[in-house]
Copies of this chain bind each other. A is one copy, B any other.
């Protein structure tokens, strides 16, 4: 088993696997300051809700590192500014905001200490978050494995693997766990237009670990669901409202709807940090619209004609009614979500 290390903080720099270049090339993107981290998140050098949460925390660490020499007031102002910049680098995933707020709380609690002491406490907190993420994923994987039948064919969407997290993954972590526990599973991976994280990243992780897998265009999945070829669907989440409505990669809703029509179990796998108790339903989730070029160009070459309008939402919202269960590190939550999510 090849262990993918999505990020590493070393010698005062954050090193990220450059996911824009996979699977062609395994190269490392070096972040020397928080502006580099902002760019890395925006441009999707690093992506996946849990991964950008921890990367964001290290972004705050880099911001602190860069202004240790300032006055206390200058330092605190800079911390505020960098939290703002990092927190807004992508709008939909709540983990990023959650991570930034946790780092801000550390600054607040320690504001009477020296800048260097605050920096060291922040660095320690980011280390803890990194370790927690891996433990969280292992726990999600163990709970999730309970609902995977022997010999199951599992459908997944986008990339929710080691690359989307600090390691192991959420939905793909469950698939790993099922595979290594000897269940003889098979995987169908949606290519996931427009950015093709399924083709580029999920397929890469599956091939690395020799898990039997087939790559399909997104629109093939509904036919497989209808035809009884899929036993269970597991996807990740970027934000879960307190009623269970879930924002995830565009294409998720379509799978959930057809799964519901044909009684195929449809699960979300996500850490509790993905739940946004501040919102009642999916209607309040801001859906990020990304650059039209993701649709009009491929590998830098124009494929669609000049002058065509484009609508390119990065996510969609799956209503809680379509979700069989939400697999978290503390167990599987089932309907009614507005009640059961409160008790985790």
Contact = CB atoms under 8 A, between A and B. Distances in A.
A206 B204 CA distance: 37
Interface stretch (A121-129, A131-139, A140-148, A293-301): A293-301
A253 B303 CA distance: 25
A220 B257 contact: no
B214 A250 contact: no
Interface in A298-332: 298-299, 301-313, 316
Contact of A214 (B206, B219, B253, B311): B311
Interface stretch (A56-64, A192-200, A238-246): A192-200
B305 A203 contact: yes
A251 B312 CA distance: 18
B308 A251 contact: no
Interface in A157-212: 188, 191, 193-194, 196, 199-200, 203-204, 206-207, 212
Contact of A213 (B218, B296, B298, B308): B308
Given A193-B193, A217-B250, A311-B216, A305 B223 contact: no
A308 B191 contact: no
Given A226-B257, A295-B199, A299-B298, A305 B217 contact: no
Contacts of A219: 193, 218-219, 250-251, 254, 316
Interface residues of A, number: 50
| Copies in the assembly, this chain | 2
Given A226-B257, A250-B220, A305-B23, A215 B299 contact: no
A25 to B, nearest CB: 11
Contact of A207 (B24, B194, B307): B307
Interface of A: 23-24, 188, 191, 193-194, 196, 199-200, 203-204, 206-207, 212-220, 222-223, 226, 250-251, 253-254, 257-258, 261, 295-296, 298-299, 301-313, 316
23 contacts: A188-B311, A193-B217, A196-B303, A200-B303, A203-B304, A203-B308, A206-B308, A207-B305, A207-B308, A213-B308, A215-B308, A215-B309, A215-B310, A216-B295, A216-B311, A217-B251, A217-B295, A220-B311, A226-B257, A254-B254, A254-B258, A257-B258, A258-B258
